């Protein structure tokens, strides 16, 4: 169960103005982003054309994390803050804890896809406040502060202190044709913000009574659980909460995965080698992506389209890294390192 | 004005060009004979060449501002003189990189940069200046490397000239006095830019696979100047060392400035380099001079060199290059000689510039390494690479000059090259028949000559007529036109206009899969980077699954870096049909009848063994050399040992 340092909840609760929520929403953006490199690393490690079901599931989750990051930035803009994406502090050092000390020391790294990493890391990240027991007995520990609780505290505070029409510049709201308009929408009012936070929480955790959110979409936690159980979660009237992992098998063969060296860093490679250049190209794209997102979230929402192209550049470079043997580490290939390095500093 | 004018900055470093290579082989376009092996790297005809999974990325790497030239001839090369020295030149940020692509496998000498952004930033990544490079194609491909290019595989170099538009000056731009001057000098808020490239690595050596050297110059732009070449005078190499296949110092732009009594030559495009990194091995003293007599010589096998009497030249000065690793990378190879005497300047108004040297045994003579174009005449087409749909008309703009001034009333003749023959399958062409080019000859309507106006420019109109798969498995046809002034300078030859005329294809409003299956399958074959990692293009279900992103990419404008296809070789009708299908995908196996009724494909009017013209032979050889397909590049010890 992921604990969040109670101080953050407290800070939210004690906020007397929207400005005091700015750092909390900045934290939320950073938190949403912090899950993306680990999920993407796992996704990129699945070789082309193989383990397609697993790929689709992780892909669906990482896309939603990107949307959650966008929603958090929209809320910050809506209440008058300025998202800060293009600085070194924005990017966590992997392996390491998630932002805000979330997770009671859970260490998150950049590793190839495996059932173990899904179970021990990804499901931990997405674990709901009260995980539903879906046709299997498991003990759950009651606790009080999760990522969901953090969002709900922000939601409550906005409801409490914000004016109905939120003060941010409406032109800064980011939407995209790649997401449903009823999930990623401009946040102009308090109601919009409340609704948007519900989407983040429910997509991550599900509802307290069902593994699916109000749109009938399976929450991240349970989608990851599908991977671990290697079965699709389907409706099952005989099961508790109406769902069970009794659907189509999700075939996964460990040899379908590139053997990324865990938590690759560029300084593990000799500067000036082809391998170094290729990883540097990856980091250059990542830097460019964050720069583009910063621009997007700071008054140029149309720039989002440009960042989509960079995401493909990242993917393609990572796939090539996956096929590139790691010099001096037999049996491993080079992992995407997601390091914030100015291209001219590398 | 041009990139050769001051204020001018020079930056140098590396470029990354991750071009894809499956599409370098015309036969790979034939879906029926395509094999998965053609997507694997390797040499020879039945594989994907040296970078099958290339993604067409073009970017600047390790590029720094090295020196600045001011109008009075002063050169600044230390940060204490202007803080711009040492700052960084990069590509786009916040959007994908630029792209480098060929227009067609039958037109590979015109590799173009699309959507490249040039950004000059401080080392803290603060923007000083950025601009968008107008699309521009290789010109002046020439022999550069004298060590046989064994490490990298490519001994040729080439030039991209262009204009930066949408120029933005960063908040800190004023911090550099130089940038302030450049901003004041340039017009329309554009800039001229030139990029000389060499030392490209096909080979996985030295950690430099898919990297090459780049020498960049940025100078002021002035209204009405050409976009993709410099309004400059031209030096052509006329010394072909015994046993060599080519000249060196083959083409160089230069500028004569009467206000400042100076001559500026861009030897960055042509200076022979010893290795892929730009080291100079030469120790020969080189001079610039003006010829008092006309020099029309061009070398051939029997006459490799031309000597001129000392009394027939007026010396200008020494080309102050330095042997070793640094000179080109520090100066970009741009050489200025200033404060020239008025007599020299007067001669330069209508006499040829020469690049000369002295060789043993000829005490009273100079060997002419390069000479200016005969009579100082230069004509170049600006937008010389065209993507043309049937029933579409485009205009090509010519600029003619004599001694650097606009040449009015000049007759520019344009002729379509004769058809090239089909190549049947055989020992040297193992995969598929390769169809010839330039037919049907009436595919393009054009005037055979145009005359320049007072400003030295003329426009040639080209109209595409309906054609129907003359090349069977590749869309449309490549038409190559020669253009020339009355006299062709044998040291340079003619230049070309290259047109990809697309097949007639009317947009299908409600297409089914079989209407587009051959286009998509071919695309998937040629670009494994897409078909392997994004979606199998031969599988409609896979495309439907990703249709949002494909609708996004296929609907980007041509000038958007994310435009699909990256080679920009689809006709509007085909592109729109694909989009229509993606919006309403129908996987039926029955094509719409109207498009399945094949229009008869035109016959190649020339028989298989028809000899190529000299220009066509040269082109074919050059393509082989450009692709690293020649057995080996020659090694040259001392260029001037004869």
Q: Dihedral sign for Cα A287, A288, A289, A290, please.
A: positive
What's the confidence (pLDDT) of residue A346? 63
Q: How many percent of chain B have pLDDT more than 90?
A: 86
Structure token pair of residue A79 = 């209440």
Which secondary-structure segment (H or E) carries B381?
A: strand B377-381
Distance from CA of A200 to the nearest CA of B (A): 23
What's the confidence (pLDDT) of residue B629? 66
A52-76: average pLDDT: 95
Of B534, B544, B537, the residue nearest B585 (C-alpha):
B544
Label residue B468 exposed, middle or buried (CB < 10 Å: 0-12, 13-18, 19+).
Answer: middle
How far are the Cα atoms of A320, B22, B534, B536 from residue B529, in angstroms, in the given order?
A: 10, 10, 8, 10
Q: How many percent of chain B have pLDDT more than 70?
A: 97
Q: Is the pLDDT of residue B199 over 80?
A: yes
Distance from CA of B534 to the nearest CA of A (A): 8
The full 3-state SS of B319-360, as one line of letters, equals CCCCCECCHHHHHCCEEEECCCCHHHHHHHCCCCEEEEECCC
Scanning B39-68 for CB atoms below 8 A from A yields: 53, 55, 57, 59, 61
pLDDT digits (tens, 9 = 90+) for A207-226: 667 788 777 888 888 999 99
The full 3-state SS of B282-327, as one line of letters, equals CCCCEEEEEECCCCCCCCCCCCCCCEEEHHHEEEEEECCCCCECCH
SS3 A176: coil
pLDDT digits (tens, 9 = 90+) for A94-130: 999 998 877 778 899 999 999 999 999 999 888 876 6
pLDDT digits (tens, 9 = 90+) for B475-520: 999 999 999 999 999 999 999 999 999 999 999 999 999 999 999 9
A257-285: average pLDDT: 97
pLDDT band at B301 (very low <50, low <70, confident <90, very high): confident
Integer Cα distance of B462 and B392 in angstroms: 8
How distant is the alpha carbon of residue B579 from its chain centre? 31
Distance from CA of B126 to the nearest CA of A (A): 11
Which residue out of B41, B52, B93 would a mutagenesis test of the A interface target, given it has the greatest number of A Cβ atoms within 10 Å?
A: B93
Integer Cα distance of A135 and A139 in angstroms: 13
What is the rounded (10 degree) CA torsion for B145, B150, B154, B157? -10
Q: Is the pLDDT of residue B407 over 80?
A: yes
- The answer to whether B157 touches B269, Cβ cutoff 8 Å, is yes
- Respond yes or no on whether the N-terminal peptide bond of residue A95 is cis (omega within 30° of 0): yes
pLDDT digits (tens, 9 = 90+) for B354-399: 999 999 889 899 999 999 999 999 999 999 999 999 999 999 999 9
A34-51: average pLDDT: 96
- The answer to whether B236 touches B289, Cβ cutoff 8 Å, is no
What's the confidence (pLDDT) of residue A137? 32
Structure token pair of residue B181 = 């001057």
Integer Cα distance of B225 and B583 in angstroms: 43
What's the confidence (pLDDT) of residue B1? 54
What's the confidence (pLDDT) of residue B641? 66
What's the confidence (pLDDT) of residue B624? 81
Q: Which of A49, A292, A344 sits opposite B90 (nearest CB)?
A: A344
- The answer to whether B642 touches B242, Cβ cutoff 8 Å, is yes
SS3 B377: strand
What's the confidence (pLDDT) of residue A101? 79
What's the confidence (pLDDT) of residue A138? 37
Q: Which of B55, B96, B536 sits opposite A310 (nearest CB)?
A: B96
Integer Cα distance of B600 and B398 in angstroms: 36
Helix residue ranges, H only, chain A = 6-14, 22-45, 52-78, 115-117, 123-126, 147-161, 190-205, 220-229, 274-297, 304-322
B185-204: average pLDDT: 96
Flag whether residue B95 sits within 8 Å of chain A, measured between CB atoms: yes
Flag whether residue B2 sits within 8 Å of chain A, measured between CB atoms: no
Helix residue ranges, H only, B396-502 = none
Distance from CA of A5 to the nearest CA of B (A): 34
Q: Which of B94, B536, B562 sits opposite A292 (nearest CB)?
A: B94
**Which one is predicted more confidently, B535 or B629?**
B535
Q: Which DSSP letter does residue B197 get?
A: E
pLDDT digits (tens, 9 = 90+) for B91-120: 999 999 999 999 999 999 999 999 999 999
A257-265: average pLDDT: 98
Structure token pair of residue A221 = 């936690």
What's the confidence (pLDDT) of residue A144? 43
Parallel, antiparallel or unpaired: strands B57-69 and B88-90: antiparallel
Contact list in A for residue B562 (CB cut-off 8 A) is 305-306, 308-309
Structure token pair of residue B203 = 């080979």
What's the confidence (pLDDT) of residue B592? 53
B620-635: average pLDDT: 77
Of B119, B490, B479, the residue nearest B296 (C-alpha):
B490
What number of H helices and E strands is found in chain A? 10, 2
Which secondary-structure segment (H or E) carries B413?
A: strand B411-416
What's the confidence (pLDDT) of residue B444? 98
A158-171: average pLDDT: 97
**Which one is predicted more confidently, B524 or A239?**
B524
Of B357, B359, B355, B396, the residue nearest B379 (C-alpha):
B396
What is the rounded (10 degree) CA torsion for A208, A211, A215, A218? 150
Measured in degrees and rounded to the nearest 5, phi and psi for residue A254 equal: -55, -25
pLDDT band at B428 (very low <50, low <70, confident <90, very high): confident
* Closest chain B residue by Cα to residue A272: B207
Q: Which of A49, A178, A303 sits opposite B94 (nearest CB)?
A: A303
Which secondary-structure segment (H or E) carries B579?
A: helix B572-583
Contact list in B for residue A274 (CB cut-off 8 A) is 204, 207-209
pLDDT band at A206 (very low <50, low <70, confident <90, very high): low
What's the confidence (pLDDT) of residue B45? 55
pLDDT digits (tens, 9 = 90+) for A134-150: 543 333 333 446 778 88
Parallel, antiparallel or unpaired: strands B139-143 and B495-501: unpaired
Q: Which of B207, B211, B533 sits opposite A315 (nearest CB)?
A: B533
If you count residue pairs, one on A and one on B, with CB atoms under 8 Å apart, how many are there? 83
Long-range contacts of B611-614 (CB under 8 A, 24+ apart): B612/B420, B613/B417, B613/B418
Q: Is the pLDDT of residue A326 over 80?
A: yes
Tell me the average pLDDT of chain B. Answer: 94
pLDDT band at B10 (very low <50, low <70, confident <90, very high): very high
Of A247, A228, A235, A238, the residue nearest A138 (C-alpha):
A228
């Amino acid at each position: 169960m992921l604990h969040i340092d109670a101080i953050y909840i407290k800070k939210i609760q004690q906020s007397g103005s929207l400005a005091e929520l700015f750092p909390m929403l900045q934290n939320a953006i950073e938190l949403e982003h912090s899950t993306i490199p680990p999920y993407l690393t796992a996704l990129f490690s699945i070789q082309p054309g193989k383990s397609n079901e697993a790929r689709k599931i992780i892909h669906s989750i990482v896309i939603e994390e990107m949307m959650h990051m966008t929603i958090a930035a929209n809320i910050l803009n809506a209440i008058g803050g300025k998202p800060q994406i293009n600085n070194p502090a924005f990017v966590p050092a992997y392996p390491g804890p998630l932002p805000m000390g979330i997770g009671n020391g859970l260490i998150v790294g950049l590793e190839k896809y495996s059932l173990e990493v899904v179970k021990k890391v990804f499901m931990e990240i997405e674990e709901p406040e009260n995980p539903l027991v879906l046709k299997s007995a498991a003990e759950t520990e009651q606790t009080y502060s999760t990522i969901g609780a953090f969002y709900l505290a922000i939601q409550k505070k906005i409801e409490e202190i914000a004016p109905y029409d939120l003060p941010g510049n409406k032109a800064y709201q980011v939407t995209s044709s790649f997401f449903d308009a009823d999930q990623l929408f401009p946040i102009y009012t308090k109601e919009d913000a409340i609704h948007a936070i519900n989407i983040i929480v429910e997509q991550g955790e599900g509802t307290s009574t069902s593994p699916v959110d109000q749109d009938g979409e399976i929450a991240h936690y349970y989608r990851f659980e599908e991977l671990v159980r290697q079965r699709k979660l389907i409706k099952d009237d005989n099961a508790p909460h109406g769902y069970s992992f009794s659907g189509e098998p999700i075939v996964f063969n460990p040899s379908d995965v590139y053997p990324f060296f865990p938590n690759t860093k560029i300084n593990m490679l000799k500067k000036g080698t082809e391998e170094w250049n290729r990883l540097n190209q990856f980091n250059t794209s990542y830097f460019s992506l964050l720069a583009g997102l910063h621009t997007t979230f700071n008054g140029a929402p149309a720039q989002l389209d440009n960042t989509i192209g960079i995401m493909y550049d990242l993917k393609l470079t990572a796939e090539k890294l996956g096929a590139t043997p790691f010099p001096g580490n037999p049996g491993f290939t080079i992992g995407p390192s997601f390091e914030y390095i100015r291209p001219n500093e590398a | 004005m041009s990139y050769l004018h001051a204020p001018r900055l020079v930056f140098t470093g590396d470029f990354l060009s991750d071009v894809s290579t499956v599409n370098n082989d015309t036969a790979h376009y034939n879906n029926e004979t395509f094999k998965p092996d053609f997507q694997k790297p390797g040499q020879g005809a039945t594989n994907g060449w040296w970078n099958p999974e290339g993604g067409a990325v073009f970017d600047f790497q390790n590029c720094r501002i090295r020196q600045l030239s001011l109008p009075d001839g002063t050169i600044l090369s230390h940060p204490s003189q202007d803080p711009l020295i040492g700052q960084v030149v990069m590509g786009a940020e916040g959007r994908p990189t630029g792209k480098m692509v060929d227009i067609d496998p039958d037109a590979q000498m015109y590799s173009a940069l699309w959507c490249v952004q040039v950004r000059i930033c401080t080392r803290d990544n603060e923007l000083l200046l950025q601009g968008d490079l107008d699309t521009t194609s290789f010109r002046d491909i020439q022999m550069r490397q004298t060590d046989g290019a064994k490490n990298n595989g490519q001994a040729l170099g080439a030039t991209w000239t262009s204009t930066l538009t949408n120029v933005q000056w960063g908040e800190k731009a004023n911090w550099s006095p130089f940038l302030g001057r450049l901003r004041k000098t340039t017009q329309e808020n554009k800039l001229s830019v030139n990029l000389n490239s060499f030392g490209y690595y096909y080979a996985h050596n030295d950690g430099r696979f898919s990297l090459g050297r780049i020498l960049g110059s940025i100078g002021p732009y002035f209204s009405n100047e050409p976009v993709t070449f410099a309004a400059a005078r031209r030096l052509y190499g006329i010394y072909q060392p015994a046993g060599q296949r080519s000249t060196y110092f083959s083409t160089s732009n230069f500028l004569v400035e009467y206000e400042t009594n100076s001559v500026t030559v861009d030897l960055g495009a042509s200076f022979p380099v010893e290795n892929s990194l730009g080291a100079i091995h030469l120790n020969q003293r080189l001079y610039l001079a003006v010829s008092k007599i006309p020099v029309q010589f061009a070398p051939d096998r029997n006459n490799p060199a031309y000597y001129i009497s000392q009394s027939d030249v007026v010396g200008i000065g020494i080309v102050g290059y330095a042997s070793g690793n640094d000179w080109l990378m520090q100066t970009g190879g741009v050489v200025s000689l200033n404060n020239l005497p008025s007599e020299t300047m007067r001669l330069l108004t209508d006499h040829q510039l020469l690049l000369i040297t002295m060789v043993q045994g000829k005490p009273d003579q100079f060997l002419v390494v390069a000479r200016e174009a005969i009579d100082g005449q230069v004509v170049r087409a600006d937008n010389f690479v065209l993507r043309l749909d049937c029933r579409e008309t485009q205009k090509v703009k010519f600029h003619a000059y004599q001694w650097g001034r606009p040449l009015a009333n000049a007759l520019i003749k344009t002729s379509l090259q004769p058809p090239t023959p089909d190549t049947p399958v055989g020992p040297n062409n193992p995969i598929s028949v390769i169809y010839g080019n330039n037919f049907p000859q009436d595919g393009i309507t054009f005037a055979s000559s145009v005359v320049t106006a007072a400003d030295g420019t003329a426009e040639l109109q080209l109209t595409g007529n309906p054609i129907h798969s003359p090349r069977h498995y590749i869309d449309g046809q490549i038409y190559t036109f020669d253009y020339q002034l009355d006299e062709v300078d044998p040291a340079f030859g003619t230049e070309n206009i290259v047109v990809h005329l697309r097949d007639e294809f009317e947009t299908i409003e409600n297409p089914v899969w079989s209407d587009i299956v051959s286009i998509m399958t071919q695309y998937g074959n040629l670009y494994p980077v897409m078909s392997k990692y994004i979606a199998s293009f031969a599988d409609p279900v896979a495309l439907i699954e990703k249709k949002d992103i494909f609708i996004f990419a296929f609907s980007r404008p041509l000038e958007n870096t994310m435009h699909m296809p990256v080679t920009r070789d689809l006709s509007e009708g085909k592109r729109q049909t694909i989009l229509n299908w993606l919006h309403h995908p129908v996987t039926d196996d029955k094509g719409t009848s109207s498009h399945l009724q094949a229009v008869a494909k035109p016959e190649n009017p020339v028989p298989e063994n028809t000899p190529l013209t000299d220009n066509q032979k040269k082109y074919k050889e050059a393509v082989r050399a450009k692709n690293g397909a020649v057995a080996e590049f020659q090694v040259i010890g001392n260029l001037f040992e004869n």
